[in-house]
Structure 1
Amino acid sequence: MAVGQVLEGNTQHRMDNSATSSPEKTSLESPLEDSTGCIDPEEIEADFEVRWDDHNDPANPQNRSKLHRWFIICVVSIGTFCVTYTSSVYTTTYDQIMNEFRCSETVATLGLTSFVCGLGLGPALLAPLSEFYGRRPIYLYSLAFFLIWLIPSAVAQNIQTMIIARFFNGLAGSAFLSVAGGTVRDLFARNELQAPMMVYSASPFLGPALGPLVGGFINQFTSWRWTFYTLMIWSGILLVCFIFFVPETYHPVLLREKAVRVRKETGNENFRAPIENANRTILDTVLLSMIRPFHLLYFEHMVLNLCLFSALLMGILYLFFGAFGVVFEGTHHFQLWQVGLTFLGIFVGMVVAVALDPLFSRNYNRLVQQREAAGGEPGGSEPEFRLPPAMLGAVLVPIGLFFFGWTSYKSVHWIVPLVGSGIFGMGEVLLFSGIFTFLVDAYPMYAASALAANSLVRSCFGATFPLFGNQMYEKLGYQWASSLLAFLSILMMPFPYIFYKYGKRIRANSRHAKS
């Protein structure tokens, strides 16, 4: 992972701002090296280093038309949406699976847990591979294996097959949670990140919100196996879209391809791309990528606390997949398809959060202008300027949870708790978008590791919360169970505010963050 982190964090910024006119005559402005010693500067022939020709080099993905770049982001986000939809749509199959496989609800829930575990473990492997081979091969192979592992789920004859297939299904699909964020960075300059990152950040949560809604109709009126047949059709169409419409976007790999062309055209074997001077093997990089997320969680308090906050929200979201059934079936006697429709509240809240992006973009530009007026560099920014969405989301989440919990009485119309769930969904997307963008901006050399750490912690919570959610709601009651979750979110609420105010001071003392 170190190769990609160095190139994305240091080299790419120089590439975008350098004014070299041709690959025949380039130079290094500073040693290309990180703390791992991944690249030896002495091995690089400065006069033959291949970089982008200038700001307008057509081979640079950031110079593609805005429409094309947004089209790629939409396809990648739909892929992420499909994977996370797959995680939650399974929850609507419980009743049929329990009857057919003669297992308990807890055992049936293990199919959800194993999928989320796969989502959490995959990034440590797939992220570094994408930094050797590029984004496109990882997307294609991962999506192909994702499709393949849907087949044993669809034809399973016992719960053991289902649980194992679901794990590998999640492992393959995790590419979209570990690599897609890099695609956003590849295609958009730093000052353009806000809107595409908001869209991408929303897709992992819109999927879980719509999974029970669609799955409720499928499993109410047909066999549970059609849940997986429809997923096979969807992922097959997606695979075709990726094959024909999603090109390679990873800058170091594109520069390597450019270096190959230059060597072929000139006959001079001295021309090299920075990534070709890496002295680490794939195994070394994979092992490092497995260690570094834990390293960041241990040494970087900002990473740890923000990851715990986002993990708590993910755990609550997955807990709701069972809790909504308990609440609305027990209180309002809803059928399965009606319970699925209750997730429209969360979905609408998430859509509203995405629609607020122009407001936060204007606020971000205002903060940048204030920094310039105070003597900062033109166009300069601070990672903390990415946190206002998270600050608002941190307030909305407990409000939504309290609202949902204390309106879950039979005497209260069912639409009222849905409003509370919508407030929760809105706060969740705002929090995640703010946290994701802050981590990418604050840890540019280690962005992939920071996001992998976030994915790992989130998946741990998302995998375990559904195992006790139903029991908690039945034992504590609908009101106090939701209140307990709200109190936990209140404990985490100050962190976005603390890091907004003191983040720059904390980064100055960090060994990994941008100072």
Structure 2
Amino acid sequence: MLAKSPVVVAVKRAQCHEESPPETQISSSSDSEPESLQVGWDGGDDDPLCPRSFSKPKKWLIVAIVSMACFCVTAASSIYTSTYQQMEESFGNSRKVSVLGLSLFVLGIGCGPLFFSPLSEFFGRRPVYLVAWSLYVIWTIPQAVATNIVTMLVARFLAAFSGSTFLAVAGGTVGDLFSKDQLQYPMAIFTVSPFIGPCIGPIIGGFINYNTHWRWTYYVMLMWSVLLLVAIAFLVPETFHPAVLRRKAKLLRQSTGDSRWRAPIEEQDKSILGAVGKSLKRPFQLLIFEPMCLSLCIFSALLLGILYLFFGAFPLIFHTHHHFNLWQVGLSFLGIGVGLIAGVLTDPVWSRVRLHYVSILAESSGKPSNGEPEFRLPPAIFGSLLVPLGLFVFAWTTYPSIHWIVPIVGSAVFGMGNILVFTGIFAFLVDAYPDYAASALAANACVRCVFAAAFPLFGNEMYVTLGFQWASSLLAFLTLAMVPFPFLFFKYGKRIRSKSRMAKN
């Protein structure tokens, strides 16, 4: 009977690809208790229920949908900036209050993952996606029909809080679908999508608000998010391996009548409150006790803060000196977007650089090696040099006598350096803190979003007070002060990790 059942085929505990534990385990806590048969994958990719056995088109379709959701959320953060003038005429609020809507949205993006990420460990990715994105759609509606600024501010925070789920969980979905040797390109697409979103948002918003009423900004976002909800509901299956195995164990129990079949997740002794509490506590432990984590998080946070500050600075600069209208100001963000994409396209170069260092280490030690976490930092080192260079070029070419393309080229250099620093830091944190990788990335996201929420609040006043050139130069000097950290950690990171209680050593 077992051999004939379509779902009983997968009773071995062989995980997909490189994750291949022993075959099905039979355990018993005592002689009086029934034995437990632990369910796993059968034959790796040959198991039809294993997410890594999906066809390539299906895998890439799922990656495209979850990446588009990340893109949509971050685009919603910046598309709001194009509604300022019309919205202020409708609500009668000041520009400082309008900017608060941008800051609250970014703050919501930072807070949401701390709550939703642990839930995906219990319920799987699909239920969390469906609930969170449904809430995102619901909270987009008040933004479209708001009659006062308070409604707008509250709805934006709650929408960001819900939509941020994809920024935290979707990377896990990509990892569920692809093995390590196939992960580079799908993960690159997922990584760049949240960064491209803020650059495209003002472009879309600029055309909408130049040609029609500001509420159409949210009508468009609502239609976009509803289409994504339909795509998530019908095209994105459960990919979290423990959750899929739980469903498989349930099918086995139903088809065989044997209640001993159990999935590993069903035998975990964890509580939801405990997981959420740990998710809230551990990132702050890393920031307090790990100087490498804190320094790199501050560096990436500074860069994101500058990016969101530019949503106020670009309209000020290009409207004042080059007389750009609303949609032209939106197009000025294409420079940063092009820089981000160019940075992602250099990923194969940095992979070869890392392999070079790995081979040197293997030769010197006389045994095979996977390399050190510090070998992930070269793109961050190069990017840390590009960032202040791009900012200085941008700063001192914002005169009316200089063609507008020159500062946009400077912003592209900044964008390229930006993504290189981010990818290098993310990869290093995951590799240096393997047991706390999710917490390290959560700590990074938390600090980044605090900076991104704070910078727009003083950006306009800083540019008016210091002048366009010196305000941008001040930002460049701040990034210049952070340049030594990737160099220092590349050279001395192993020694620092040896004294750490949380890093790999």
Q: Structure 1 length as normaliser, TM-score?
A: 0.89
SS state at 1:20 partner:
coil
User: In the TM superposition, what is the alpha-carbon distance from 1:290 to its structure 2 partner?
Assistant: 0.9
Deviations 1:314-339 (A, max 9, x none): 10000000000111111112111111
Does structure 2 retain, via aligned residues, the 8 Å contact 1:96–1:224? Answer: yes
SS state at 2:261 partner:
coil
Deviations 1:305-364 (A, max 9, x none): 111111101100000000001111111121111111111111111111122222223333
Cα–Cα, structure 1 residues 228 and 14, in superposed 2: closer, same or farther, change >3 Å?
closer
Distance in 2 (CA, whole Å) between partners of 1:63 and 1:445 is: 27
SS state at 2:352 partner:
helix
Aligned to 1:118: 108
* Match 2:465 to one of 475, 479, 483: 475
Specify the code of the residue in structure 1 equivalent to 2:411. Answer: S
Structure 1 stretch displaced more, 68-77 or 331-340: 68-77
Aligned to 1:51: 40
User: In the TM superposition, what is the alpha-carbon distance from 1:375 to its structure 2 partner?
Assistant: 4.3
SS state at 1:48 partner:
strand
Deviations 1:355-386 (A, max 9, x none): 22222233333333334434476572333232
User: In the TM superposition, what is the alpha-carbon distance from 1:246 to its structure 2 partner?
Assistant: 1.4
Specify the code of the residue in structure 1 equivalent to 2:82. Answer: T
Aligned to 2:18: 16
SS state at 1:279 partner:
coil
Aligned to 1:358: 348
Does structure 1 retain, via aligned residues, the 8 Å contact 2:14–2:22? Answer: no
Aligned to 1:37: none
Q: Higher RCO, 1 or 2 (CA under 8 Å, sep at least 6)?
A: 1
Aligned to 1:323: 313
Specify the code of the residue in structure 2 equivalent to 1:20. Answer: P
Is 1:415 the counterpart of 2:417 in the alignment? Answer: no
Structure 1 stretch displaced more, 47-56 or 298-307: 47-56
Aligned to 1:104: 94
Q: After TM superposition, list the pairs within 5 Å mapping 1:164-175 onto structure 2.
A: 164-175=154-165
Does structure 2 retain, via aligned residues, the 8 Å contact 1:20–1:26? Answer: no
Cα–Cα, structure 1 residues 458 and 337, in superposed 2: closer, same or farther, change >3 Å?
same
Does structure 1 retain, via aligned residues, the 8 Å contact 2:16–2:45? Answer: no
Aligned to 2:147: 157
User: In the TM superposition, what is the alpha-carbon distance from 1:191 to its structure 2 partner?
Assistant: 4.0
Cα–Cα, structure 1 residues 506 and 70, in superposed 2: closer, same or farther, change >3 Å?
farther
Deviations 1:85-124 (A, max 9, x none): 0000000100111111111100111111111111111111
* Match 2:477 to one of 487, 490, 509: 487
Aligned to 1:87: 77
Aligned to 2:450: 460
Cα–Cα, structure 1 residues 279 and 47, in superposed 2: closer, same or farther, change >3 Å?
closer
Larger Rg: 2
Distance in 2 (CA, whole Å) between partners of 1:431 and 1:213 is: 25
Is 1:212 the counterpart of 2:214 in the alignment? Answer: no
Q: CA RMSD in A?
A: 2.4
Cα–Cα, structure 1 residues 359 and 476, in superposed 2: closer, same or farther, change >3 Å?
same
Cα–Cα, structure 1 residues 15 and 51, in superposed 2: closer, same or farther, change >3 Å?
farther
Cα–Cα, structure 1 residues 263 and 369, in superposed 2: closer, same or farther, change >3 Å?
farther
User: In the TM superposition, what is the alpha-carbon distance from 1:454 to its structure 2 partner?
Assistant: 1.3
Distance in 1 (CA, whole Å) between partners of 2:397 and 2:69 is: 35
Aligned to 1:134: 124
Does structure 2 retain, via aligned residues, the 8 Å contact 1:26–1:50? Answer: no
Deviations 1:425-451 (A, max 9, x none): 111111112222222233233222122
User: In the TM superposition, what is the alpha-carbon distance from 1:299 to its structure 2 partner?
Assistant: 1.4
Structure 1 stretch displaced more, 233-242 or 312-321: 233-242
Deviations 1:279-302 (A, max 9, x none): 221112111211111111111222
Aligned to 1:263: 253
Aligned to 1:309: 299
Cα–Cα, structure 1 residues 367 and 45, in superposed 2: closer, same or farther, change >3 Å?
farther
Which segments of 5 or more consecutive residues in structure 2 lack a partner in the other structure?
Answer: 1-12
* Match 2:137 to one of 144, 147, 164: 147
Cα–Cα, structure 1 residues 45 and 366, in superposed 2: closer, same or farther, change >3 Å?
farther
Aligned to 2:278: 288
Specify the code of the residue in structure 1 equivalent to 2:147. Answer: Q
